[in-house]
Amino acid sequence: MGASAQMNDDSPRSAVAWMLFASFSFGSMNALVKWASPEADVWSMVFVRSMVIAVAIFFICRRSGITLIVEDRRSMLLRCITGLIAMILYFSALGLIPIGQAVTLQYTNPLFVALLSSVFVSEKVEPFVWTLAIISFIGIVLIVSPDLQTIEVNAVLALGSGFFAALAYLYVRKLRASEHALSIVFWFATFSVAFTFIPAMPTLPTALSDPVVTLALVGIGVGAGAGQVGLTFAFHKANAAWISAFSYLTVIVATIYGYTIFGETLNSRDLLGCALIICSGIALTFSRPGHQLEKRD
């Protein structure tokens, strides 16, 4: 049996297993970012994470003969800029608010993608999508403005991450026609290394002088890379719309880390807000089977 046939051989159990692996990997990455925040700034974490992924993808591409020449440079640049902004905002939020809140607000990106698709890829936004957006917005308000009067600024960082991640995914969608998926991942990681090198230098040597912190920083990159591998195999093993719903397991994994390691708890408003956002995202996933988000990088 050929490789392509094996990749397209549906196996729901295997897909769920890979998605569990991806959720655990991404959740662990989130926990490491939270843990390392007092010892290393955001620039250092993004730099090391991106360096680990860039080096790994470079050798994979060389071994596989995959070209890294970019055809659509404008879209690639915009993908890198929006993706880097999203990552900086997200890592900042992880160090300031409960992990469960941060991950949930970052997972608003599917709804932002759906709402922005009409501008970027000329896709009609259906009434059902607007309904889900309103439900999700209510969930956002419950988290970002719990008393309906003041705004939790730190939570807005995570929400902003979701918005910029959506923009990045839309550029990834445009790049599918001209670039290999690994090339997109490589150039995003390389761009992130280049643009965080100088800001990271004042604190990075101190952070790397501690072996434990160094392992945590490397672990952030490993967790992100392992999560990507898990997502890739999961999407190869089952229907994309069906398996995408399981990606929200990352929220559960991250919340468990927050409770067991960092002593974080969510109040009733937070829990209701998270539930509304997650349910809206899952409903959107099943309502748009032909327009799933591209896999993370």
DSSP 201: T
User: Does the structure show a pLDDT above 90 at 295?
Assistant: no
Task: Return d(Cα 227, Cα 223) in angstroms, integer.
Answer: 6
pLDDT in tens, 223-251: 998 888 887 677 667 665 567 677 788 88
Cβ atoms 213, 207 nearer than 8 A? yes
The pLDDT value given to residue 19? 84
- Residues 4 and 171 sit within 8 Å (Cβ to Cβ): no
Q: Report the mean per-residue pLDDT for the chain.
A: 84
Burial of 119 (C-beta count, 10 Å sphere; 0-12/13-18/19+): exposed
Look at residue 122 and tell me whether its pLDDT is greater than 50: yes
The predicted model gives 170-198 an average pLDDT of 89
Residues 120-132, buried b or exposed e (16+ Cβ, 10 A)?
A: eeebeeeeebeeb
What's residue 240's pLDDT? 58
| Percent over 90 (pLDDT), the chain | 40
Average pLDDT over residues 4-17: 64
Q: Is the pLDDT of residue 182 over 70?
A: yes
Over residues 204-224, the pLDDT tens digits come to 999 999 999 999 999 999 999
- H helices present in 37-180, as ranges: 42-64, 73-94, 99-106, 109-120, 127-144, 153-175
Q: Can you give the pTM of this predicted structure? A: 0.84
